[in-house]
Structure 1
Amino acid sequence: MKPFVDAITLLTIIPLPFGRGSDAPPSRFAPLLFPLVGLLIGLGAAGLFTLLYDLLPKNLAAALVITTLAIITGALHIDGLADFSDGAFGGRDAESRLRIMKQPDIGAFGVASIVLVLGLDWIALSTLDINDIWILLSVTVMISRTAPLLIMLITSYVSPNGLGKNYVNLPKPALIAIIATTLVVSAALAGGPTLSLAVAGFAAALIVGLLAKKRLGGSNGDVYGAGVELAFAVCLVAAAGIVDAGAIIEPVWSGL
């Protein structure tokens, strides 16, 4: 139970017992439950979008859903995206880039990344069909919250402190098993279309991890946050493309 509670308090600002504010140390296995928490967040976001769809213009409903997701996560991943963008594309070496990422101010790369990514999120979400939103948004958020696990799998942790240091020794077989399970669940929800979303999101996370490895020497909490945001944006864009192509989005069990 505690790993699940810790996973929720790591990914959201929802106050729960035995979470981030308690004296008990966080469970090192909490990240393995990130996909489950992501699925629950996605279901909540889909429910909110469905509710707002009947009350407001679709574009405004999409904007409010994106805003709510940022609020419920405490903008933690957005902050990570900004810091990672400033660090990865600035500085002369890994040490100076990591130092830039620790600075409290946001540079041009950070501002640009936030504006562009949130803009993509809003536009892509506003194009999705309300009939598909439960499946597509749930899978998209689940995959984006699995992105840190893929980054953990391919990189080492380079910061001397931070939340991520508690999870540096997660067994790689466990990470692989959870990533594979997420792929299976994605495919089970709507077959090829949702599996393609998972592949697109993981490709984005892989690029973030490889870039961090090259530019920073490894990853940290900001890199994980950037992976979440970029995987989410790529999944939403892919979902918009799938819907525009006329793909049928329905649970695989509906045809049984």
Structure 2
Amino acid sequence: MKRFILTLQFLTRITVVKDLPYDQDFKKGIIYFPLVGLVLGLILAIAYKGLIYLFPPVITSSLIIALYVALTGGLHLDGLGDTFDGFYSSRTRERMLEIMKDSRLGTNGVIVIIFSLLLKIFGLTTLPQEKAALALILMPVLGRLAQVYGAFQSKYAREEGLGNIYIDKVTGLEVLSATVIASIIALLDWSSLAFIPVLWIFSILFKAHSKKVIDGMTGDTLGALCELTEVLYVLFLLGLVSLNIY
């Protein structure tokens, strides 16, 4: 339980217990990433259920995504922006890593963050209300499962940094455990189980691209992978709706 709370507080702004003792095996808490997503998802779904009675769907979705950003402190959005600023700067690997570490946000970062938020907001607005509530529960779960996959068998592209806690330190058993946990949660919506193989493949492709560009993964790219997976999940659901499968 202590390791789960540490992981929850590391990935979000939710504080359960202050001044928890240091855990030398903190990295093993990566198996709880999907459960952290579940906590976030339940908060979002409950808020959505309340707000949808007060506001139009597009306003409700906007407020829910704003709440999501507040709960995470924009941690993964920051990684998304930094990753796109660095990856698409047309600079050397060393300069890309410097750009990604820079606290200032560039044009590429602003554009991808705006489009990511808009796709989530309008995607949720387009989904039927009951499906949107389920999507809000599962979206953070699947996004964080992608981070587990992203850290597995990856090289850390920097000499030091927060991402080094997990990258290339995840075991096959931990990946399996996280996948089982996420799959059990995904039983809330059977159609979403089919997305897990999709996000596995997407994670592999993303890692390959990151390796080609900066020779590995960083904390920023893990954040980017989470955000992109969540957008992909919303698009996946919209596709199922269009095909009258969902």
Q: Please indicate, yes or no, whether the TM-score normalized by the shorter chain is above 0.5.
A: yes
- Residue 247 in structure 1 maps to residue 245 in structure 2: yes
How far the C-alpha of 1:22 sits from its partner, in A, is 5.3
Residue 208 of structure 1 contacts residue 226 of structure 1 at CA under 8 Å; is this kept in 2?
A: no
* 1:229 paired residue among 219, 227, 230: 227
Query: Match for 2:56: what amino acid?
Result: P
Residue in 2 that maps onto 1:251: none
Cα-Cα RMSD: 2.1
**Compared with structure 1, are the counterparts of its residues 49 and 203 closer, same or farther at alpha carbon in structure 2 (3 Å cutoff)?**
farther
Whichever residue aligns with residue 227 of structure 1, its letter is L
Equivalences for residues 2-41 of structure 1 within 5 A: 2-17=2-17, 24-25=22-23, 27-41=26-40
Aligned equivalents of 1:150, 1:75: Cα separation in 2: 21
- Give 1:179 shift: 4.5
Q: Distance in 2 between matches of 1:102 and 1:34?
A: 24
The Cα offsets for residues 7-49 of structure 1, whole Å up to 9 and x where unpaired, read as: 111221012325xx65625612122100011022112211111
Displacement of 1:178 after TM fit? 2.8
The Cα of 1:141 is off from its aligned counterpart by 1.6
Offset at residue 197 of structure 1 (A): 2.8
User: TM-score when scaled to structure 2?
Assistant: 0.91
* Deviation sequence 1:125-147 (CA, Å, 0-9, x none): 11111122343322222100111
TM normalised by structure 1 equals 0.87
- Inter-partner Cα distance in structure 1 for 2:129 and 2:35: 23
The secondary structure found in structure 1 opposite 2:194 is helix
* Separation in 2, partners of 1:85, 1:213: 14
Provide the aligned length of Structure 1 versus Structure 2. Answer: 245
Cα deviation 1:39-61 (Å, max 9, x = unaligned): 22112211111111111000000
Distance 1:208 1:171, change over 3 A: closer
Distance in 1 between the 2:23 and 2:167 partners? 15
Gap change, CA 1:236 and 1:216, over 3 Å in 2: same
Q: How far is the alpha carbon of 1:112 from its aligned partner?
A: 1.0
Question: 1:91 Cα shift?
Answer: 4.2
Of the structure 1 ranges 88-97 and 210-219, higher mean CA displacement relative to structure 2 is found in 88-97
Regions of 4+ moved over 6 Å: none
Task: Describe the SS at the equivalent of 1:28.
Answer: helix
- Structure 2 distance, partners of 1:61, 1:37, is 23
Write the distance in 2 (CA, Å) between the matches of 1:175 and 1:89.
32
Which structure 2 segments of 5+ residues have no match? Answer: none
Structure 1: runs of 5 or more not aligned: 249-256
Pair 169,226 (structure 1): closer, same or farther in 2 beyond 3 Å: closer
Please tell me the residue identity of whatever aligns with 2:87. Answer: A
Aligned residue for 2:171? Answer: 172
